[in-house]
Amino acid sequence: MCGRYELLDGQRVFVRFAVSNTGTIQPRLLDNLDVRPTQPVPVLTTDRILSLMTWGITPMWSKASAPAKPLINARAEGIETKPSFRKLLPTQRCIIPASAFFEWQRAKGAKVKYRIGRRDRDMFGFAGLYATTPTTDGGEVQTCTIITTTPNELVAPIHDRMPVILLPEDEDRWLDPDLTEPDEITPFLVPYPTELLEAIPAA
């Protein structure tokens, strides 16, 4: 899974992802060394619109009387048939900017935290889905989830899952509203090239 990530040098998001409209984002994005589920996070959608969304999609079966835990991740395997995600995959794909993500490796009864990012320290974008969720007061909130896949050779010794990170050349296609068929979309949901990432023990 992916349950923590960081976004450093947040102002670079506007240039790196060619943002055309700031939506609900204020002119300045603050750095966040420890992005956590349920926090508001910057999310890029079709037409390069950047908005703040809550990290964690409310499951469709959730009830106000007994709310279910938000879905912060969506497994790539079978995503096109899963009730919570199959309607989102064709038209509600997004990119979630990040500078690294964190995973914990169990070693000798302890957990070692790793910071995993690009070797060149550039930003990247997680492949995600977003949804509009009704609130108890009759309003709406936009939420998002990060898609995960099997790990590459670097991440495998640390964790059995990793977030789907899009190659820069695939980002436009991922956001393309004309791309709606699962067999056109799922090929993007693969592990990021091992040689482009590094894993460093973090405090």
> Is 103 noted as a catalytic residue in this protein?
yes
Out of 94, 103, 144, 171, which one is annotated catalytic? Answer: 103
The residue among 161, 164, 159 whose CA lies nearest residue 193 is 164
Give the DSSP H/E element, type plus range, for residue 13: helix 13-16
Of the candidates 2, 94, 144, 171, the residue annotated as catalytic is 2
- Asked whether the beta carbons of 146 and 73 are under 8 A apart, the reply is yes
CB 20 within 8 Å of CB 118: no
Cα–Cα distances in Å, from 14 out to 43, 146, 155?
A: 11, 20, 29
Tell me, rounded to whole angstroms, the distance of Cα 37 from its chain centroid: 11
The residues with which 116 forms a beta bridge, in sequence order, are: 101, 199
Can 2 be counted among the known catalytic residues?
yes
Distance CA 129, CA 57 (A): 9
User: What is the set of active-site residues?
Assistant: 2, 103
